[in-house]
C-alpha cells in the first residue's frame, strides 16, 4: 500500500450500519490498472491449462505474471490461504487450494479465481474452463453461469439498487429448462482498498432492495452455479467448498465499477464491451 492511500480517509456511505467505500474517478482508474493485471493473470493461467498440469503449476503461472507486472497477489496469505489462485476442480465450487499433486485430466472443469493489488487497490475475477472439450452438460453449465454474471454486471447502473444485480443473476439461471442450483450464502462483495468490503452481493433475490447503486461503488459479481443441488460442504482443509451431492459447479467473476457513464468491467480486458453488448450497454474500454 502507498502512504497516500493509508493517509487518506475514504469517503464512506453508510447503509444499515455497514460502511460502503465510494471511490473517486481517479481511484477507479487505479482499480482498472489492478483489474488489468488480474485479467492478464487469468489469461496466462487459461493458456496453461492442459491435461497433466497441476493446480500448483497453474498457481505459479498466476503468481509469476502478477509479480512481473509489479503487482502483489491478494489471495496469498489471505487469512492464511497458501495460493495466488483458488483452483476448484469439478465438484469443488470455490476456494480450492492449489496443489502440486493435483493434476488435471481431460474433461475436468477448473475454476480459477484470482486477484491482484496495484498501488493498494484490489481486483478479483474468476473463470471456469474445461481441460479439453467440455461435455454438452458442462458447456451449458458454464454458459449459464457466465451469462448470469454478465446480466448482473449489466445492472451495475447508478440509480438502481443492489438487489437489481442479484435478481438479474438469479433470473438468468432460473430461465433455463434445466433446474440449476444457485449456491446459497456465498456471493459477491464490495471491493477497493480491501478485497472484501460491504456490501455482500447475493446471487438471488427480489430487485429494488438494498443500498442504492452510485458512481464510485465497485463490486465483484460472482455467481456460483451447480448442475445438481446447491447444498455445500466445506472440506477439512478449512477452505475447499464442494457440492454436497458431488455434482459439478461453475464460477465466474468480474470486478465492476459503477460510473456516471455506466458499468466499467475492470477485470475484463475490453472493459466489458463484448459481454455487455447483448444488453445494449457500451462501456468504456
Ligand atoms: Mg474471486
Ligand atoms: Mg470475490
Q: Give the number of the ligand closest to the Cα of residue 189.
A: 2
What φ, ψ does residue 138 adopt, rounded to 5°?
A: -65, -40
Under DSSP, the state recorded for 118 is E
Render pLDDT for 181-222 as a digit per residue (tens, 0 to 9): 999 989 999 999 999 999 999 999 999 999 999 999 999 999
Looking at residue 7, its pLDDT comes to 33
Q: Is the dihedral of CA 199, 150, 254, 60 positive or negative?
A: positive
CA 150 to CA 6: how far, in whole Å? 33
Q: Give the number of the ligand closest to the Cα of residue 125.
A: 1
Q: Which CATH number, 3.40.50.2300, 3.90.230.10, 3.40.50.10490, 1.10.600.10, labels domain 12-279?
A: 3.90.230.10
Helix axes 55-68 and 25-48, enclosed angle (nearest 10): 140
Render pLDDT for 127-177 as a digit per residue (tens, 0 to 9): 999 999 999 999 999 999 999 999 999 999 999 999 999 999 999 999 999
Looking at residue 3, its pLDDT comes to 30
Residue 102 has pLDDT above 70, yes or no: yes
Q: Give the number of the ligand closest to the Cα of residue 84.
A: 1
Break the chain into its structural domains and give their ranges: 12-279
Q: Give the number of the ligand closest to the Cα of residue 252.
A: 1
Under DSSP, the state recorded for 80 is G
Ligand 2 centroid to Cα of residue 157, in Å, is: 19
Helix axes 136-154 and 162-174, enclosed angle (nearest 10): 160
Which residues have CB less than 5 Å away from ligand 1 (the ion)? 113, 124, 126, 253
Amino acid at each position: 500500500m502507498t502512504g497516500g492511500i493509508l493517509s487518506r480517509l475514504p469517503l464512506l456511505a453508510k447503509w444499515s450500519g455497514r460502511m460502503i467505500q465510494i471511490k473517486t474517478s481517479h481511484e477507479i482508474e487505479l482499480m482498472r490498472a489492478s483489474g488489468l493485471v488480474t485479467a492478464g493473470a487469468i489469461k496466462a493461467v487459461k493458456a496453461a491449462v492442459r491435461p497433466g498440469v497441476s493446480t500448483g503449476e497453474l498457481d505459479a503461472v498466476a503468481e509469476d505474471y502478477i509479480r512481473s507486472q509489479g503487482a502483489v497477489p491478494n489471495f496469498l496469505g489471505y487469512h492464511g490461504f497458501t495460493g495466488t489462485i483458488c483452483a476448484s476442480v469439478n465438484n469443488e465450487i470455490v476456494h480450492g487450494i492449489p496443489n502440486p499433486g493435483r493434476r488435471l485430466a481431460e474433461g475436468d472443469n477448473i475454476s480459477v479465481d484470482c486477484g491482484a493489488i496495484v498501488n493498494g487497490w484490489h481486483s478479483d475475477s474468476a473463470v471456469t474452463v474445461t481441460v479439453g472439450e467440455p461435455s454438452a452438460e458442462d458447456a451449458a453449465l458454464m454458459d449459464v453461469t457466465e451469462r448470469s454474471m454478465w446480466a448482473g454486471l449489466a445492472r451495475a447502473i447508478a440509480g438502481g439498487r443492489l438487489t437489481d444485480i442479484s435478481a438479474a443473476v438469479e433470473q438468468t439461471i432460473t430461465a433455463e429448462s434445466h433446474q440449476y442450483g444457485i449456491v446459497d450464502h456465498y456471493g459477491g462483495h464490495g471491493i477497493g482498498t480491501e478485497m472484501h468490503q460491504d456490501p455482500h452481493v447475493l446471487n438471488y433475490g427480489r430487485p429494488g432492495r438494498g443500498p442504492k447503486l452510485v458512481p464510485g461503488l465497485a463490486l465483484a459479481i460472482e455467481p456460483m452455479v451447480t448442475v445438481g443441488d446447491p447444498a455445500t460442504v466445506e472440506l477439512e482443509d478449512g477452505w475447499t467448498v464442494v457440492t454436497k451431492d458431488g455434482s459439478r459447479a461453475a464460477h465466474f467473476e468480474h470486478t465492476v465499477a459503477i460510473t456516471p457513464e455506466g458499468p466499467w468491467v475492470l477485470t475484463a480486458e475490453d472493459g466489458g464491451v463484448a459481454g455487455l453488448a447483448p444488453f445494449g450497454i457500451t462501456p468504456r474500454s
